[in-house]
Amino acid sequence: MKVAYIAAALFAAAASSYAAVVTTADASILEDPQYDWVVLDSSFDTPGPNAVLPSNVTTVELSKREDSIYCYNAGRAVQRVALVSSIDDFCNKYAIGRTLSDGQELWIRYLDNFSGITVLVWMKMINGCAPWTIDSACNNNFRKPVDRCNTRSENNKQGGEMKDNCAHYRIDPGDRNSNDY
């Protein structure tokens, strides 16, 4: 009987400690952390989103392309929200609307000054599909290695790569002063 009472007390203490982590004093749920990304390095040798493009530029319908995923399963592990935040910043601010030629790369290495997390977001056009205008599927394609790798929990993501018939995507977390890339 005493063992059950002690076990119940320990469980209650652990549960209340956990609740303190995910709720505030007024019992509201804490939101995901916000990241303030600083661009450490980038490659922007491509026309900007408002550039005048040749008439033969096409957007390949991404839903019809087959993809393969490579998971790193090693290196710096970060929260999923950190990778999604850097992906969204890369795609929405810098990539969508740009036109790439075959073999051309577009990448940014981000740093969050608060946590020291760095994230490399990289893409390259392959297999002669270019010229190709990056569209809103950019975000989804970068999320595939995030969501299909390190699947035991929502977090502890170590990045990976996704290739389809026309593009190669890479998302790679690291640390400030590291040489993970």
Q: Please spell the DSSP secondary structure of 103-167, one letter per residue.
A: T-EEEEEEEETTT-EEEEEEEEE-TT--SEE--THHHHHHHHHHHHSSTTSSS-B--EEEEESSE
Where along the chain do its domains lie?
1-30, 37-175
- State pLDDT tens for residues 38-47: 776 666 654 4
Q: What is the pLDDT of residue 179?
A: 55
Contact between 132 and 60 (Cβ < 8 Å): yes
Q: What is the pLDDT of residue 67?
A: 79
Q: Which residues of the chain have pLDDT under 70?
A: 1-33, 36, 40-66, 178-181
State the Cα–Cα distance between residues 101 and 116, nearest whole angstrom: 33
Q: What is the pLDDT of residue 129?
A: 84
Residues in the chain: 181
Q: What is the pLDDT of residue 57?
A: 37
pTM for the full predicted model: 0.69
Q: What is the pLDDT of residue 14?
A: 37
State the Cα–Cα distance between residues 16 and 117, nearest whole angstrom: 30
Task: Examine residue 131 and say whether the peptide bond preceding it is cis (omega within 30 degrees of 0).
Answer: yes
State the Cα–Cα distance between residues 80 and 93, nearest whole angstrom: 20
Q: What is the pLDDT of residue 39?
A: 76
Q: What is the pLDDT of residue 178?
A: 65
- State pLDDT tens for residues 81-90: 999 999 999 9
Strands 167-175 and 160-164: antiparallel
The letter for the amino acid at 97 is G
State the Cα–Cα distance between residues 150 and 141, nearest whole angstrom: 17
